[in-house]
Amino acid sequence: MARRELDLSPESRDARERPRKSGVALLGELGAYSALFIVGGLVAGLLLDHALRSTPVFLLIGVLGGFGAAMFQIVRVAMKEITE
């Protein structure tokens, strides 16, 4: 019986394809990122507004920042899935 050697070179790793995620798994991941970032921005804004006794200006900044971060992460994950 011939002995097979394990080839861990970058060329051999590139030749193997990573299994693609199903559509449901991808949507779940993107939804989780969206919820995490938007709710995180909301909570951070609320805490800052409460600590500084200000109007909901930090709440709005937090939600908009969370939305922006969520969109950035969604595009990043989607581009990774498209290119691989």
DSSP string, 7-50: ---HHHHHHSPPPPPPHHHHHHHHHHHHHHHHHHHHHHHHHHHH
Cβ of 69: how many Cβ atoms within 10 Å? 17
Q: Evaluate whether residue 8 is within a structural domain.
A: no
**Is the pTM value of this prediction over 0.85?**
no
Handedness of CA 8, 13, 15, 17 (dihedral sign): positive
Q: Evaluate whether residue 4 is within a structural domain.
A: no
Query: What domain range is 51 assigned to?
Result: 34-84
Provide the domain count of the chain: 1
Q: Evaluate whether residue 27 is within a structural domain.
A: no
Q: Evaluate whether residue 9 is within a structural domain.
A: no
Q: pLDDT by residue (tens digit) across 24-60? A: 888 898 999 999 999 999 999 999 999 999 989 999 9
